[in-house]
Amino acid sequence: MAADTIFARASGAGRAGVAVYRISGPDAVRILKQLVGKEIAQREAAYVAIRDPADGSVIDRGLALLFAGPKSFTGEDVAELSLHGARSVEEALYAALASLGARPAEAGEFTLRALKNAKLDLAQVEALADLIDSETTLQRKQALGQLDGRLSETAEGWRKELLAVMAPLEADIDFPDEGDVPAAVAARAGPAIARLKTSLTTFFNQSVSARKIREGVSIAIIGPPNAGKSSLVNALAGSEVAIVSDIAGTTRDIVEARLDLGGVLATVADTAGLRSVAGMAGDVIEEEGVKRAKKRAENADIRVLVVDASEVVSRETLFEGGVENVPRETLALLQPGDMIVWNKWDKASSAKSLETAHSPYTELPVSAKTGAGMAAFLDALTQKATGEANSEGPALTRARHVAAVEEALAALTRAEANIERAPELAAEDARLAARALGKITGAVSVEDVLGEIFSSFCIGK
Ligand SMILES: Nc1nc2c(ncn2[C@@H]2O[C@H](COP(=O)(O)OP(=O)(O)OP(=O)(O)O)[C@@H](O)[C@H]2O)c(=O)[nH]1
Ligand SMILES: [Mg+2]
């Protein structure tokens, strides 16, 4: 059965100077001709009047483009109309298209057709979704790279290597008399499997930081009540995202701000001030807030401890057993490379200085109130965020890719163990590894993951 011809607005919803409508399917050429009353040349913009087939009245005037399949986004015949982005135009156009035999597209249906017609593979479909969702420069670059097929090429390269590994193993099984003795098979296939394992593992490890580009880096702002955490987050965000007051325990829940730090998307979490259960005097809401703050600190990529520099006498007192407000328990949340912001520097005694040369942390004097030191703090934070995220080369940007490589690695490990004793088992393991890698691009059947991937698409994509 031939596919339906489908249509949708490809550009964003709402009023706009121009809106782009896409029509894809076997009837696209005929429908376009009926709408504009003439043949349109392929791949040439034509200025046309779109007419209502019912009475010939003009719906709107705009540009029409025709892409004959398979050289189109979906691989089918595709017509694109750039019309005025008005609801009235859209309604009249949709009615006309429906009367000519097309139906509205479902979410992601254009891309699904592109996948079915092998215009894109699965990793590229995901990259397209990521590109549409990208907020920062690095997210955009990463998505574009994967859309160009960087990951797909890598994954296919591994699969080819595996096939080469499998050849001697299978020959040994099929022609045991003519084949090499098992030890010779192992000598040939073994090193190749080991090499592949190494490159998969290296790639796997590198991908941890690449995923940070897609998912964003998480930063937790922690510290005692009233230290100025919310003030700092507001200063970073450039807006009053969190309530600031001189009442200790103002922030209860986690308040998030999203920042673009040097092209890396960062989620900065303002948290409840950390104090002892005794200090909270049975306030269950604050207790829950402190619990959430600690959990966020543990899970974050970067922690920033904010202390009130006008209160803490010196660094030495802080680190030697902690001070009343910043107990050891709070300091213990920090990991090497995290930051300490000495806030309220404007109020700190003028003789105070920060001797931080040997500190495991990046420590900076800041005044969230006056803005002094904020530029240096932002620089340091940006450096840390970009250090967490790596944008070079192809990467396993999604959990699905990671699972596929993990599966392949496990199969290769079994293959290595079996290779001398039972080459037929090793061959089967190598086949399973190739299958797992094939899931990345969809070279093997992946019906089960399609729903999940396409659920993130909206109509018109
Ligand atoms: N002088 C001075 N005051 C500051 C500075 N930063 C914050 N403050 C003041 O300190 C008080 C507490 O600020 P917040 O930002 O609410 O502190 P917090 O750490 O979020 O407090 P909790 O949410 O209660 O844990 C407010 O009165 C701020 O105006 C600063 O750099 N200098
Ligand atoms: Mg606060």
The CATH number given to whatever domain includes residue 26 is: 3.30.1360.120
**Which of 70, 105, 140 delimits the end of a domain?**
105
| 82 plus 190 within the same structural domain | no
C-alpha 233 to ligand 1 mean position (Å): 11
Which mutation among 221, 222, 230, 312 tests ligand 1's pocket best, with the greatest number of atoms within 8 A of CB? 230
Residues 324, 307 contacting (CB under 8 angstroms): no
C-alpha 253 to ligand 2 mean position (Å): 9
C-alpha 461 to ligand 2 mean position (Å): 41
C-alpha 248 to ligand 2 mean position (Å): 8
C-alpha 229 to ligand 2 mean position (Å): 5
pLDDT averaged over the chain? 89
| 275 plus 371 within the same structural domain | yes
| 83 plus 130 within the same structural domain | no
Q: What is the CATH number of the domain that holds 142?
A: 1.20.120.430
Does 118 reside within a domain?
Answer: no
Q: Report the distance separating Cα 397 and Cα 453, nearest Å.
A: 13
Looking at mean pLDDT, say which of 184-198, 202-216, 235-249, 351-365 comes out highest.
235-249
Ligand in nearest proximity to the CA of 247: 1
Q: Whose CA is nearest to atom 27 of ligand 1?
A: 246
C-alpha 270 to ligand 2 mean position (Å): 7
Does 460 reside within a domain?
Answer: no
pLDDT in tens, 317-345: 888 876 778 888 899 999 999 999 999 99
Does 110 reside within a domain?
Answer: no
Does 459 reside within a domain?
Answer: no
Ligand in nearest proximity to the CA of 244: 1
| 209 plus 234 within the same structural domain | no
| 416 plus 354 within the same structural domain | no
Specify the ligand 1 atom closest to the Cα of 244.
Answer: 16
pLDDT in tens, 155-174: 999 988 888 777 767 766 66
Cα-flanking dihedrals φ and ψ of residue 458, to 5°? -110, 175
Q: Whose CA is nearest to atom 32 of ligand 1?
A: 344
Does 119 reside within a domain?
Answer: no
Specify the ligand 1 atom closest to the Cα of 368.
Answer: 31
Higher pLDDT, 237 or 163: 237
C-alpha 249 to ligand 2 mean position (Å): 7
Does 112 reside within a domain?
Answer: no
Question: CB within 6 Å of ligand 1 — which residues?
Answer: 225-231, 244-246, 248-251, 273, 343-344, 346-347, 367-369
| 345 plus 251 within the same structural domain | yes
Q: Is the pLDDT of residue 349 over 80?
A: no
C-alpha 226 to ligand 1 mean position (Å): 5
pTM to 2 decimals?
Answer: 0.80
Specify the ligand 1 atom closest to the Cα of 233.
Answer: 15
| 338 plus 380 within the same structural domain | yes
| 223 plus 341 within the same structural domain | yes
Q: What is the CATH number of the domain that holds 225?
A: 3.40.50.300
| 129 plus 236 within the same structural domain | no
Residues whose beta carbons lie less than 5 angstroms from ion ligand 2: 229-230, 250-251
| 331 plus 351 within the same structural domain | yes
pLDDT in tens, 377-395: 999 999 999 988 877 778 8
Q: Is the pLDDT of residue 455 over 80?
A: no
Number of domains in the chain: 3
Does 120 reside within a domain?
Answer: no
Q: Which domain holds residue 50?
A: 6-105
Q: Is the pLDDT of residue 17 over 90?
A: yes
| 193 plus 342 within the same structural domain | no
Specify the ligand 1 atom closest to the Cα of 223.
Answer: 19
Does 117 reside within a domain?
Answer: no
| 257 plus 344 within the same structural domain | yes
